[in-house]
A and B are shown apart, each in its own frame.
Chain A
Amino acid sequence: MSARPGPFDPSPEGRDTHLVLENAEGRLSMWPAWRTVPSGWAARSGPAPHEACVRRVEAGRG
């Protein structure tokens, strides 16, 4: 049960690791910057550190 960082976790160094995606329904998704963006989704912001992406989602800005 090791808690190593997964694709949706913050990286320890606070690098620009994530995107915020949005689909046609306006739903938001965190997304690792290294993985192809799935179809039907578009990057609304990022790459940015995980924490910054979380704050954007909280603020409803994506």
Chain B
Amino acid sequence: MTAPPVTETVLPLTAAQSGMWYAQALDPLSPAQNTAEYLEIDGPLDPALFAEALRRVAAEADALRVVRVEDTPDGPRQYVAHPDAAEVPLTVREPDTVAEAEAWMRADLAAPCDLAAGPLFRHALFRVGEDRWLWYQRIHHLVIDGFGHSLLVRRTAEVYAALARGERPGPRTFGRLADLVADDAAYRSSQAFAADREHWTRAFADRPQAPRLAGRGALPSHTFRRRTAHLSPETTQGLRDLAARLRATWPDVLIAAQALYTSRVTAQPDVVLGLPMMGRMGSVALRVPGMVMNVLPLRLAVTPEATFAELVRQVVLGIREVRRHQRYRYEDIRRDLGLLGESRGLVGPLVNVMPFDYAVDFAGAPARAHNLSAGPVDDLTVNIYDRADGRGLRIDHDGNPALYEDEDLAAHQERFLHLLDRLAGTDPRLPLAAHPVATPAERELVLEEFNRTERAVPPTTLVGPIEAQAARTPDAPALVYRDTTLTYAELTARANRLAWHLRSLGARPGAVVAVSVPRSVELVVALLAVVKAGAAYLPLDPDYPAQRLAYMLGDAAPVCAVTDRADRLPDGTGTPLVVLDGLDLSDRPWTDPARALTPAHPAYVIYTSGSTGRPKGVVVPHRAIDNRLRWMQHAYGLTAGDRVLQKTPSSFDVSVWEFFWPLREGATLVVAEPGGHKDPVYLARLIREQSVTTCHFVPSMLQMFLAGPDAADCAAPLRRVFASGEALPRETAQAFARALPGVELHNLYGPTEAAVDVTYHACDPADPGPVPIGRPVWNTRLYVLDAALQPCPPGVPGELYLAGVQLADGYLGRAELTATRFVADPFGPAGARMYRTGDLARWTARGEVEYLGRTDHQVKLRGQRIELGEIEAALAAREGVDGACALVREDRPGEQLLVGYVTGDADPAAVRAAVARELPEHMVPAAVVALDAFPLSPNGKLDRRELPAPVFAGSGDGARQPSGPVEEALTRLFAEVLGVGRTGPDDAFFDLGGTSLLAVRLVGRIRAELGAELTIGTLFEASTPAGLAARLDATGRAAEDALDVVLPLRTAGGRPPLFAIHPAGGIAWCYGGLSARLGPDQPLYGIQARGLNSDEPLPRALAEQAAEYVRHIRAVRPHGPYRLLGWSVGGVLAQIVAVLLQDAGEEVDLLAMLDSFPAEQWRERPAPEEGDALTAVLRMAGFERTHERTREDVMATLSRAGSPLAGLTDRTLSRIVDIVPNHARMMREHHHRVYDGDLLFFTAAAPRAQHWLHHGAWRAHVTGPIVNHDLDCVHSQLLLDRQLDEIAAVLTARLKELGA
């Protein structure tokens, strides 16, 4: 007898179920959709009876009979078994321990569920004591939610109890799954659905940023981390009482607390939390165990001035609003808003309050629920359970492991509990600003522990220790500039005479004296003289526009201004001038002037960019800078043997320690040329020649310096380098460690408003991640504060405030600005001030600070501080400009560009020219772009992200043609480096968006390709291709020289040179890029075919050609060891040269070939004719031949493409077309001899027509092993891009092994 077929019901999915189905389909192997819990049952239990109860409940609850979910052409469908076929396999394990049971559960929970195969649930019973049981149930989230779970548990307990009493259980109370599906379908076609959509779309039209505690989002992981805590019964009761007083529920209070916490930690005043809703209000779903729950966004404004009572009220009203629209799915809201995808979430943390009463019992045995998994965790979910046993609330922090480590969860949880504690015990009518989110221990750590910097220092001034030092070591060298060296006594005498003179003009403590002198001996004398006279010096950069200089003179009202020349400063300022040129001070005393100077008097006034359009003068007192220099000496210990480079412009406060620190310690000041600070090549030479031990770089300049060819040569004299002025990238620190091993790199940070630097960090190349700005210096405190001016715990970003002795007095004559930036310090001694930096930062757990960016529109461009507001004000002041804005773009990585935008009918080029007369060079936009209107965001604000990138175009097609090969090559290099289509020979580099970083790159390219030595300075002086070409023709090598047999690509460097022999075309320029990559210590000579620039006959045999090369090579290096390399036929020649050198008894220790194959591999093949020669010429330029038929066609192509070969004369090009087939002929006639040694080989491994070519053919002609490297390219691409990098890397390693 067979059983009657059992029917299955097939149902579509509800929208909620579909969400789960898609999530599982996206990641089929993820177990994250498994929900599970276990009940701890204290009392006797009959497993058989329990199994029967479960079976009966399964017969009642459709959800427990969903056997599988399959995709069909109409969408996914769920298959529900007939009630009579309800099967509930129950695993029973007894006896067992809790630990074993939990391990079993965790393993079960970690297995993904195959929806198409089923089963979708699992039950198990563990006996973990005489009368103690654990009931585990795991159900896929597609069929059940938390509320559904509770329905099932209660019904199971009810049925079990009835069975235990021997009674028939009461009638089933569940609704049907089919009703749920029908209800859902009805909703989705209803008016309410449309109204709900309208509500949510409107509420989030501006797409607020999701507040993420980890600072970023991530895809959901397969698992989650959980940390569980319990809120004490007292605090729980306190929160309940508070809720009652505020006419709210305790979940409202907990949600408000989480909003407060989230707002502070993410620094967002607009917080969107996710609220899991059971979604059953007034619907049939109230009786259906199924998947109904939804997550809905609750948007709250959290401001420091609002009270907690107000925030709770917002929550109450907000939830009321959410409930009205709670059937609309979260997935639909995100889709409507276009916020799908991992980084485009809408909500931050989820707050999942589960007030379900789990006080069930199984025939008198009480049971407690333990949640194991509430479904996938996208970011962070705070699960809060009200426990029926009166033991307070249980709080689980579940985090996505991709975002949170265990200690992160612990920190968030601990702070949240502390906050709840605090809120429960505080008047809810206080402003939220009264509540810190840091725990008391964290607060102690960041305010006190990390700031223990108290250090007693004597009450001295900037200048006192200098005079004391001069008296101790009068004959020691104090200053070196060009050929001049001054001793301490000489410097002191000159400065004193000038100081006495300045005193006669009114210089005294409290007064200001301007100094406008280019970098020179006189500059140092003048600055020292001003402070010796007791006055504060005001540096005026001689390169600043007259209008700005006039403004500063008017604003600071100095008693006089020291200049080197009478015309240095603008006329009509009324400031008395002290012109050093021709000034006779011989009648003034050479002794130190007496003065009533105290540490409180100002030492210098330095102007910085001001956001309102006017620069502001920062007044720094002696005690501040004296503390800074005493700390620096303690930390880095300058000695008499040290030589400190002075290269920073005096208007930038880093120069203050450069000038005065060495003079206080008996060291020597090495003064760079004016303008020299922009030229890495000059600086490297100066450091080397002047044995500089200590210097400073702005990180972007340091990067350029390290990229230069000579940086590594500075390792010998240098002891320490300081970086400050902008964020120091880790890559730069690592490049530093590679180029300058053994030299210390220190990252310093500080604004002009706090005496140069307030933090310090010694870089360790082994450290990962961002380079911290470090710890506070002596007598300095750092605060990282949130929007409520409360301290942020470690790891949480906030604004950086500075306090302590190094603070400036304020801004000269700007009381209102001073009172908004230098504000009352709530954490320091009574009456203390703190400076608000506007920098975003966070503490690390080790007590260092990391810089994260700006809170406002101030930007740093190559270390210079710029207020965009000042630039915008200057742009807007021009005739015809209606609106203006400015920003720093980074359209190409690492290349920052200041760009101005204007509306109105002004000519943008004229506007740029006009502001260039007013603003210092570093503040002049590289481009001004005219717009019809500014792009606006949906809420009507300027949308800076939508501002277009400026288009720099050279004069291009309309320009005159380059008038020679060098000019031609330079116009091409300009266009390449600047990333513009074409340039003309008269286009200026800096007009086309050239930056100093790009300038370094351009000079490097010119060096590599044209073999021309050139400094950055030359580019500043002659900034067009035509101008540069004229310079090169005058000073560099003429283009024709580049066609000699020996092409010196790099002559400097201590290693034995590498000789690189030309490929078939006879020209060795292709090795220029290799030279750049092998580094400054590796000399490299190209060997080129003879006859390129003469009418000499071409060689008749390779052996003859090689013999000639041997003569040339030995003229450069008379004896071995020799190192040889060649590409294509050049490799064949290199082997012959190597054999000849060995014949002569010389050592050859490197023979390297780039895709070269011995003669016999070619012999049977037809020799190329002119057509192939043309192909070869084009390949030399990196082109495959297409339509070109004649020499003229080839010339035209090269010329159009701007190839450097196009700069060759017709005659030379004709020679190349002869040289190529000549090589082919000689190759076929050559018979190789054996080279005694190894072969380093590089194969162009992409498939080729000449498939028979193989490096193994060399085995007959070399005695040693052949080491081959396959490169994924064709023959003509070997010296390009990645291939070149790889070849250079292999060669570098090999050359290193060989040693010097």
B816:A57 contact, CB within 8 angstroms: yes
Smallest CB separation, A1 vs chain B (Å): 6
Taking CB as reference atom, which chain A residue is nearest B856?
A3
In the complex, whether A28 has a CB less than 8 A from a CB of chain B is yes
B819:A28 contact, CB within 8 angstroms: yes
The interface residues of chain A lying within 8 Å CB-to-CB of B787 are 6-7
Chain A residues 20-46 with CB under 8 Å of chain B are 20-21, 23-25, 27-41
Determine the distance from Cα of A13 to Cα of B819 in the docked complex, in whole angstroms.
21
Smallest CB separation, A3 vs chain B (Å): 5
Chain B residues 999-1038 with CB under 8 Å of chain A are none
In the complex, whether B556 has a CB less than 8 A from a CB of chain A is no
Tell me which of B788, B824, B854, B856 contacts A23 (CB under 8 A): B824
Query: What number of B residues sit within 8 Å (CB to CB) of A?
Result: 33
Smallest CB separation, B64 vs chain A (Å): 50
B833:A27 contact, CB within 8 angstroms: yes
Determine the distance from Cα of A41 to Cα of B789 in the docked complex, in whole angstroms.
16
Chain B residues 767-823 with CB under 8 Å of chain A are 787-789, 799, 815-816, 818-823
Taking CB as reference atom, which chain A residue is nearest B790?
A35
Smallest CB separation, B800 vs chain A (Å): 12
Classify the interface of chain A: helix, strand, loop or mixed: loop
Smallest CB separation, B743 vs chain A (Å): 34
Taking CB as reference atom, which chain A residue is nearest B888?
A1
Determine the distance from Cα of A34 to Cα of B824 in the docked complex, in whole angstroms.
14
In the complex, whether B1040 has a CB less than 8 A from a CB of chain A is no
B431:A38 contact, CB within 8 angstroms: no
B433:A35 contact, CB within 8 angstroms: yes
A35:B788 contact, CB within 8 angstroms: yes
A41:B824 contact, CB within 8 angstroms: yes
B857:A1 contact, CB within 8 angstroms: yes
Determine the distance from Cα of A35 to Cα of B751 in the docked complex, in whole angstroms.
26
Determine the distance from Cα of A37 to Cα of B433 in the docked complex, in whole angstroms.
12
A34:B823 contact, CB within 8 angstroms: no
B788:A29 contact, CB within 8 angstroms: no
The interface residues of chain A lying within 8 Å CB-to-CB of B856 are 1, 3
B857:A38 contact, CB within 8 angstroms: no
Interface residues on A, range: 20 to 34
Determine the distance from Cα of A54 to Cα of B820 in the docked complex, in whole angstroms.
8
Determine the distance from Cα of A54 to Cα of B814 in the docked complex, in whole angstroms.
11
Smallest CB separation, B1175 vs chain A (Å): 53
Determine the distance from Cα of A24 to Cα of B824 in the docked complex, in whole angstroms.
12
**B620-641 vs A, Cβ < 8 Å mask (1 yes, 0 no):** 0000000000000000000000
Given A6-B799, A29-B823, A60-B815, check contact A34 B833 (CB 8 Å): no
Smallest CB separation, B297 vs chain A (Å): 20
B431:A34 contact, CB within 8 angstroms: yes
Taking CB as reference atom, which chain A residue is nearest B857?
A3
Determine the distance from Cα of A39 to Cα of B832 in the docked complex, in whole angstroms.
9
Tell me which of B269, B434, B824, B857 contacts A37 (CB under 8 A): B824
Determine the distance from Cα of A1 to Cα of B832 in the docked complex, in whole angstroms.
29
Tell me which of A3, A29, A54, A57 contacts B824 (CB under 8 A): A29
Determine the distance from Cα of A25 to Cα of B600 in the docked complex, in whole angstroms.
13
In the complex, whether B674 has a CB less than 8 A from a CB of chain A is no
Smallest CB separation, B964 vs chain A (Å): 47
A58:B789 contact, CB within 8 angstroms: no
B826:A25 contact, CB within 8 angstroms: no
Tell me which of A3, A21, A36 contacts B855 (CB under 8 A): A3
Chain B residues 612-666 with CB under 8 Å of chain A are none
Tell me which of A8, A25, A38, A55 contacts B825 (CB under 8 A): A38
The interface residues of chain B lying within 8 Å CB-to-CB of A24 are 831
The interface residues of chain A lying within 8 Å CB-to-CB of B289 are none
The interface residues of chain A lying within 8 Å CB-to-CB of B832 are 38, 40
Smallest CB separation, A27 vs chain B (Å): 6
The interface residues of chain B lying within 8 Å CB-to-CB of A32 are 304-305, 433, 789
The interface residues of chain A lying within 8 Å CB-to-CB of B434 are 36
In the complex, whether B412 has a CB less than 8 A from a CB of chain A is no
A39:B820 contact, CB within 8 angstroms: no
Determine the distance from Cα of A25 to Cα of B1001 in the docked complex, in whole angstroms.
53
Smallest CB separation, A2 vs chain B (Å): 8
Determine the distance from Cα of A58 to Cα of B304 in the docked complex, in whole angstroms.
27
Which of B305, B823, B826 has its CB near the most chain A CB atoms (within 10 A)? Answer: B823
Tell me which of A27, A30, A41 contacts B820 (CB under 8 A): A30
B816:A54 contact, CB within 8 angstroms: yes
The interface residues of chain A lying within 8 Å CB-to-CB of B1225 are none
**B425-450 vs A, Cβ < 8 Å mask (1 yes, 0 no):** 00000010110000000000000000
Smallest CB separation, A40 vs chain B (Å): 3
B836:A1 contact, CB within 8 angstroms: no
Smallest CB separation, A19 vs chain B (Å): 10
B836:A29 contact, CB within 8 angstroms: no
Determine the distance from Cα of A7 to Cα of B824 in the docked complex, in whole angstroms.
12
Taking CB as reference atom, which chain B residue is nearest A21?
B824
B831:A25 contact, CB within 8 angstroms: yes
Chain B residues 683-702 with CB under 8 Å of chain A are none
Determine the distance from Cα of A25 to Cα of B836 in the docked complex, in whole angstroms.
20
In the complex, whether B99 has a CB less than 8 A from a CB of chain A is no
B836:A8 contact, CB within 8 angstroms: yes
The interface residues of chain A lying within 8 Å CB-to-CB of B815 are 28, 57-58, 60
Which of B819, B825, B853 has its CB near the most chain A CB atoms (within 10 A)? Answer: B819
A7:B830 contact, CB within 8 angstroms: no
B857:A31 contact, CB within 8 angstroms: no
Given A34-B304, A54-B816, A57-B816, check contact A6 B829 (CB 8 Å): no
A38:B826 contact, CB within 8 angstroms: yes
The interface residues of chain B lying within 8 Å CB-to-CB of A35 are 304, 431, 433, 788-789, 826
Tell me which of B269, B304, B820 contacts A4 (CB under 8 A): B269
B829:A31 contact, CB within 8 angstroms: no
Smallest CB separation, B378 vs chain A (Å): 24
A8:B816 contact, CB within 8 angstroms: no
Determine the distance from Cα of A17 to Cα of B303 in the docked complex, in whole angstroms.
12
Tell me which of B799, B818, B820, B824 contacts A38 (CB under 8 A): B824
B433:A34 contact, CB within 8 angstroms: yes
Given A7-B304, A20-B819, check contact A41 B854 (CB 8 Å): no
Determine the distance from Cα of A36 to Cα of B826 in the docked complex, in whole angstroms.
8
The interface residues of chain B lying within 8 Å CB-to-CB of A41 are 824, 831
A33:B819 contact, CB within 8 angstroms: no
The interface residues of chain A lying within 8 Å CB-to-CB of B818 are 28
B830:A17 contact, CB within 8 angstroms: no
Smallest CB separation, B855 vs chain A (Å): 7
Smallest CB separation, A39 vs chain B (Å): 4
Determine the distance from Cα of A40 to Cα of B825 in the docked complex, in whole angstroms.
9
Determine the distance from Cα of A23 to Cα of B831 in the docked complex, in whole angstroms.
5
A1:B854 contact, CB within 8 angstroms: yes
Smallest CB separation, B963 vs chain A (Å): 47
Given A6-B855, A41-B831, check contact A30 B826 (CB 8 Å): no
Tell me which of A1, A36, A40 contacts B853 (CB under 8 A): A1
Taking CB as reference atom, which chain A residue is nearest B306?
A34
B857:A29 contact, CB within 8 angstroms: no
Smallest CB separation, A35 vs chain B (Å): 5
Determine the distance from Cα of A15 to Cα of B747 in the docked complex, in whole angstroms.
42
**B851-879 vs A, Cβ < 8 Å mask (1 yes, 0 no):** 00111110000000000000000000000
Taking CB as reference atom, which chain A residue is nearest B786?
A7
Determine the distance from Cα of A24 to Cα of B349 in the docked complex, in whole angstroms.
46
Which of B434, B815, B830 has its CB near the most chain A CB atoms (within 10 A)? Answer: B815
Determine the distance from Cα of A52 to Cα of B829 in the docked complex, in whole angstroms.
29
Determine the distance from Cα of A34 to Cα of B855 in the docked complex, in whole angstroms.
21
The interface residues of chain A lying within 8 Å CB-to-CB of B789 are 7, 32, 35
Smallest CB separation, B857 vs chain A (Å): 6
Given A34-B305, A35-B788, check contact A40 B820 (CB 8 Å): no
What are 6 of the A-B contact pairs (CB < 8 Å)? A20-B819, A28-B815, A36-B434, A38-B827, A40-B829, A40-B832
New A-B contacts (14) at CB < 8 Å, excluding given A8-B823, A38-B832:
A8-B821, A23-B833, A25-B831, A29-B819, A29-B823, A29-B824, A30-B820, A32-B304, A35-B826, A38-B827, A39-B831, A40-B832, A55-B816, A57-B816
Q: What are the 7 tightest A-B residue pairs by CB atom distance, in nearest-first order?
A: A40-B830, A40-B831, A34-B305, A23-B831, A38-B826, A34-B431, A29-B824
